[in-house]
Amino acid sequence: MSGVLLTIIGVYVVACGALFAAQKKLLYFPTGNPALPAQQLLTINVDGATINVSTRSASSSNAVVYFGGNAEDVSMSLPDIAQAFPGHAIYMVHYRGYGGSSGKPSEKALHADAQAVYDHVSDRHADIVVIGRSLGSGVAVRLAAVNPLERLVLVTPFDSIVNVAKDGFPIFPVRLLLTERFESWRYASAISVATTIVAAEKDEVISLARTRALYAAFNPDIIRFETIKGVGHNDISATPAYVHALGKTQQHSAPSSTTGAAEQAH
């Protein structure tokens, strides 16, 4: 019996080591070159990498900066964003290793690159909307916590990658194993701009429990929760309701401390 137990323990320890070693491969799925033509591609040089940004130019003080999911060619989402935010300049960020950007993705690198893109955009536009989808919500939340924005939109977001991993790997001590953590809940309370969460009713990747946990971490006076019914994590943008939900965010302003109330999650 002791031999069997030692074998089981050994297999478990090896599995933990494999999960630790493979975490970036499980989290990041870099895409190929962006679908948009090269003349619509902005290049931003950062420490250790060159970041590609698919753009739609506009002579406007208004801009949208978009951070996508972990396997997303963000240029493919540009038409939806353009429809939801007419008249805005649009910047769709290709993470390191994605869309022709150089370097390798990591949490630290993505946050640094997001700040570099924000600095570039804020030099040219006064009013910036930041959208983060799935993995990009973790980038967007931290960026919004330390920079002035017009508003923040989070699509299928989570409270932390650690908690998402706990849902997917419940028998492993993921809190001890993961170095890529994206703990959005830590930064939510520092955000003061109007924020909208857009959730998928049938999200099979990020449970609604994780999305609602992030919602609960925000100041209730600034946060609104929208649920798109009948869709999952990956097909949320395939319905007209998605563009409609994004467009509605432009009507959401953070109320003053004496007026207004947060819409409750449903």
CB 65 within 8 A of CB 56: no
Domain residues for 57?
Answer: 2-251
Whichever domain contains 163, its CATH number is 3.40.50.1820
* Residue 256 resides in a domain: no
* Residue 262 resides in a domain: no
> Looking at per-residue confidence, does 44 or 38 come out higher?
44
* Residue 235 resides in a domain: yes
Look at the chain and report how many structural domains it folds into.
1
* Residue 260 resides in a domain: no
Note the pLDDT tens digit of each residue in 182-232. Answer: 999 999 999 999 999 999 999 999 999 999 999 999 999 999 999 999 999
The model's pTM: 0.91
Burial of residue 26, with CB atoms counted within 10 A of its CB: 0-12 exposed, 13-18 middle, 19 or more buried:
middle
* Residue 102 resides in a domain: yes
Between CA 156 and CA 83 the distance in angstroms is 20
Predicted confidence at residue 257, as pLDDT, reads 37
